[in-house]
Structure 1
């Protein structure tokens, strides 16, 4: 077996199951699960209709590149969303079967394991796929702590030149999971300059880009930042986007990567062997989704309603603030994050995720410790009920 498999830690939800072992299974409260970032708003009918109308596509082997129609639809969306003047549907876009598989596969393509001390940098806390991808590509993860004192920014100012020379890939997540931080143009400028100097590739995870609160101020994207800074070839930058959160279709497994044509040429070569082409039926449903914004605006309205009602309820107890974007509250617990999550589960049947499970110790600190991630993904009334139970739990623990 691949010995690097032994370097993988249990996934956060495996740790959560272990944490809850021995708790009573009967509760006077209905279960409310706010631990996983799985959107539970209704899937738009236009997507299910398009899927059902194109089931004849199941009779065909799909192309790894996807159909020209899907690629052009994605290009059109990128240009509308980010104000880009030109993106090539032939060389700068690839459909992927969800951003998760693409984020993992990308490291296998990019990392040169023949180089000594190859490193993959990522924020800490982080989406656990980044670490697994690095380890199974033969690289060592390098964690950058994102903490409240720096507004949860991806602060790379303390990384020295010798370390940068070993970095081959940098994962960034903006809007961030779990903090919701959106990278500024200055942050992108710094990262791009370091990429130019040291040659690493940037993988920008943007799966939360369409969950934000001000319709007039959508989050800045990596390609948008590159374009504004004159990097119109998007050199060494690839973004990863998905319909899962935007359109409430996590089971569709549909997304795309876009950016540097030279990098994507090699990623396509890898994917041709990887065997992860998108079903033609899913491609047609994806075209319908990317072409419609009305359902996305309504989706944001529901999240905005939840955050506006729930943030003031929890703020006095857990110090929460509305994030820049995304659908998580990053809540500071009065004591141990694991004790808080276990107690809340036991007494009120509300599931949240301990922040320490989303991070690793780096520079003597686990930056997720003392936090829980609360995913406001359920219906508004259910999320409100969960918030009321959390307040009752905190009040009882005073």
Structure 2
């Protein structure tokens, strides 16, 4: 067996199952989960129609790993409409089976474990695929903390110069999971300068880009590059997906775009890896990337939901409307510190909330690692507001009751 597999840590939801072992939720309440970031809004009918229409002919042959020209052109056209970015559909776009597998596979393409101290840098807290990609790619993970006082901006300045010197790849997540923070242009400029100086590749995970709460859409990595005159996208790759944008996590469809040299290498890797997308899924994806009406409606639903739930929870917890994404990153009251022996405050909060009110939230410490002496997720919980508004409001009401002083 690959000995690197033993380095992997349990996924957050496995740890959550262990935390809840022996807990009997209050039977007076129906179960509501805010734990998993799985979109629950309706899948657009036009997308389902396109998928069904393609099934008759779309399963008869082996698909090309590079995807059909129509899909690459649809992705490039969307980048132009959304970001004002021009890319070549032929050599700067590649369809992938969702951003999760692509992020992992891209790391295996880029990392060179024969180089002493090979390092992969990413935010802390983080999406656990980043860590797994580093470990299985033979690199050392380096965890960069998010700073609450700066709206959870990642503290890139805290990374020592000797770490940057051995960095081969950096994962950026903007809008962030779990904080929803969006990286501004000056931080992109900082990372580009570091990339030029040290030669590392930047992978920009942007799967939450279309769920946002401000008037201005979140800045993307390719868009930032163009604004800074970097139109060749050197050492830059962006990753996006239809899962959140179009409510089709089961479709497993997204694309990557950027540096043509990186696309060429990634295509070679994926040809051997077996990363081709089904022609039927490609046809549905063309329809999805070409339509914005369902995306606007999806964003409206999230905005209305967050506008109702956030102030309700803010009356009893430290929580605020994020820049983007569909999570609330909430601080747990200090009363939960040392509440249950052996458990952190966020674990105690999650366990007691399930037991008393049958609501599931994810402890923030499960989404981060202790680094430089601190776990930046400790004392917080992530709430995924993916269900219908009534269910999210009911869950929020129970949390308010849970935290309100007893008479």
Q: TM-score, normalised by structure 2?
A: 0.96
Residues 54-100 of structure 1, C-alpha deviations (whole Å, 9 max, x = no match)? 0020111111000000000000000000012x210011000000000
Report if the CA contact (8 A) 2:211-2:299 is conserved.
yes
Residues 227-274 of structure 1, C-alpha deviations (whole Å, 9 max, x = no match)? 000000011010000000000000000000000001111000000000
Counterpart for residue 49 of structure 2: 49
DSSP-derived class of the 1:331 partner: strand
Counterpart for residue 11 of structure 2: 11
> Which whole-Å CA distance do the structure 1 matches of 2:14 and 2:282 have between them?
32
DSSP-derived class of the 1:329 partner: strand
Counterpart for residue 297 of structure 1: 296
DSSP-derived class of the 1:41 partner: coil
Residues 113-149 of structure 1, C-alpha deviations (whole Å, 9 max, x = no match)? 1101100000000000000000000001000010202
Counterpart for residue 227 of structure 2: 228
Give the counterpart of 1:386 among 391, 395, 402: 395
Counterpart for residue 134 of structure 2: 134
1:206-245 counterparts in 2 under 5 A? 206-214=206-214, 216-245=215-244
Does 2:340 correspond to 1:341? Answer: no
DSSP-derived class of the 2:144 partner: strand
Deviates more, 1:155-164 or 1:40-49: 155-164
Counterpart for residue 342 of structure 2: none
Does 2:108 correspond to 1:108? Answer: yes
Gaps of 5+ in 2: 337-344
Residues 150-188 of structure 1, C-alpha deviations (whole Å, 9 max, x = no match)? 321122112232221110000010000000100000000
1:27-42 counterparts in 2 under 5 A? 27-42=27-42
Q: TM-score, normalised by structure 1?
A: 0.98
Residues 277-323 of structure 1, C-alpha deviations (whole Å, 9 max, x = no match)? 11000000001100100000000111001110111101121111000
Aligned residues between the structures: 396
Distance 1:316 1:97, change over 3 A: same
Counterpart for residue 377 of structure 1: 386
Distance 1:191 1:176, change over 3 A: same
> Which whole-Å CA distance do the structure 1 matches of 2:150 and 2:211 have between them?
23
Counterpart for residue 72 of structure 2: 71
DSSP-derived class of the 1:59 partner: coil
> Which whole-Å CA distance do the structure 2 matches of 1:318 and 1:219 have between them?
26
DSSP-derived class of the 2:248 partner: coil
> Which whole-Å CA distance do the structure 2 matches of 1:25 and 1:124 have between them?
31
Counterpart for residue 340 of structure 2: none
Counterpart for residue 395 of structure 1: 404
> Which whole-Å CA distance do the structure 2 matches of 1:159 and 1:103 have between them?
22
Does 2:71 correspond to 1:62? Answer: no
Report runs of 4+ in structure 1 exceeding 6 Å deviation: none
DSSP-derived class of the 1:302 partner: helix
Gaps of 5+ in 1: none
Counterpart for residue 181 of structure 1: 181
User: How far does residue 396 in structure 1 lie from its aligned partner after superposition?
Assistant: 4.8
> Which whole-Å CA distance do the structure 1 matches of 2:387 and 2:160 have between them?
43
> Which whole-Å CA distance do the structure 1 matches of 2:163 and 2:37 have between them?
33
> Which whole-Å CA distance do the structure 2 matches of 1:158 and 1:360 have between them?
16
Give the counterpart of 1:358 among 345, 350, 367: 367
Residues 42-63 of structure 1, C-alpha deviations (whole Å, 9 max, x = no match)? 0000010000000020111111
Counterpart for residue 156 of structure 2: 156
Counterpart for residue 145 of structure 2: 145
User: How far does residue 26 in structure 1 lie from its aligned partner after superposition?
Assistant: 6.3
DSSP-derived class of the 2:240 partner: strand
User: How far does residue 25 in structure 1 lie from its aligned partner after superposition?
Assistant: 5.5
Name the Cα RMSD after superposition.
1.1
Residues 10-51 of structure 1, C-alpha deviations (whole Å, 9 max, x = no match)? 000000000000011562211111111100000000010000
